Amino acid sequence: MRIDVISLFPAMFAGVLGESMLKIAQDQGAVAVHVHDLRDYTLDPHRKVDDRPYGGGPGMVLAPDPVFRAYEAIAPLGPPGARRFLLSPGGRRLDQAFARELATAPGLLLVCGHYEGFDERIRRGLPLEELSIGDYVLTGGEIPAMVVLDAVIRLLPGVVGDPASVIEESFSDGRLDCPHYTRPRAYRGMEVPEVLLSGDHARIEAWRHEQALLRTRELRRDLLEARPAPDPSGDPS
């Protein structure tokens, strides 16, 4: 997969892309991430990409020309069928199902906003979808873009050592993951549940299923309420 990111602050991505699983994915050739400086596409001698809003008001607005120039130069570098997004509070909210959907795309292009947002003609004039990571305000689109990178890249084939781990984790089936334990068996008076030491894989799977439901009911009941009604002929859980 090829991923392009257009940002005012490309240096912010170095730490995220240079460590841990995202670095491994790039080293393995599962993904190639290219971060582009929006200022490289302005004609302003001072590399300015924003201006005051018409009608007055606080803050600055990203001007259309640098974004159009960047898009028109960078979009053709991606593969056919790549999906292209503005990082925007009004966009489709990222969740695990959406991350899985994006992981099947041949490529992504992410355009990071900043300041008071984009000139509206960017939305109207460029064939971009909009994507949000939640209903809150951040300084710019760089951190949301990093969230998208992490959520998507870890789902690419071969990136995670054990493919089952991304299938069984939280949100993959509309509920939270079950509790997990490792050594030591006892720590500060807290014991590993006996069932996990039994070697009975059927019992362990049943326990994990039950605990995942209990944890979801306790912490995120909204996830269960959002699930479709169960098929009467199938598993009632």
pLDDT tens sequence across 147-193: 999 999 999 999 986 665 555 555 556 788 899 999 999 999 999 99
Q: How confident is the model at residue 225 (pLDDT cuts 50, 70, 90)?
A: confident
pLDDT of residue 117: 87
pLDDT of residue 43: 96
- Name which residue leads in pLDDT, 104 or 115: 104
pTM confidence score: 0.85
- Name which residue leads in pLDDT, 167 or 227: 227
pLDDT of residue 174: 76
Across 5-31, average pLDDT: 97
Across 87-112, average pLDDT: 96
Give start-end residues of each CATH 3.40.1280.10 domain in the chain. Answer: 2-153
pLDDT of residue 168: 54
HSE on the CB side for 37, CA within 13 Å?
A: 10
Across 53-59, average pLDDT: 91
pLDDT of residue 172: 58
172, exposed or middle or buried, with CB in 10 Å at 0-12, 13-18, 19+? middle
Q: How confident is the model at residue 69 (pLDDT cuts 50, 70, 90)?
A: very high
Give start-end residues of each CATH 1.10.1270.20 domain in the chain. Answer: 168-226
Would you identify the CATH topology of the domain 2-153?
Alpha/beta knot (3.40.1280)
Would you identify the CATH topology of the domain 168-226?
Trp Operon Repressor; Chain A (1.10.1270)
Question: Is the predicted pLDDT of residue 209 greater than 60, yes or no?
Answer: yes
Question: Is the predicted pLDDT of residue 63 greater than 90, yes or no?
Answer: yes
- Are 235 and 209 in contact by the 8 Å Cβ rule? The answer is no
pLDDT of residue 8: 96
| Mean pLDDT rounded to a whole number for the chain | 91
3-state SS, residue 37: strand
Cα gap 24→213, rounded to integer Å: 33
Q: How confident is the model at residue 226 (pLDDT cuts 50, 70, 90)?
A: confident
Question: Is the predicted pLDDT of residue 87 greater than 90, yes or no?
Answer: yes
Cα gap 158→129, rounded to integer Å: 28
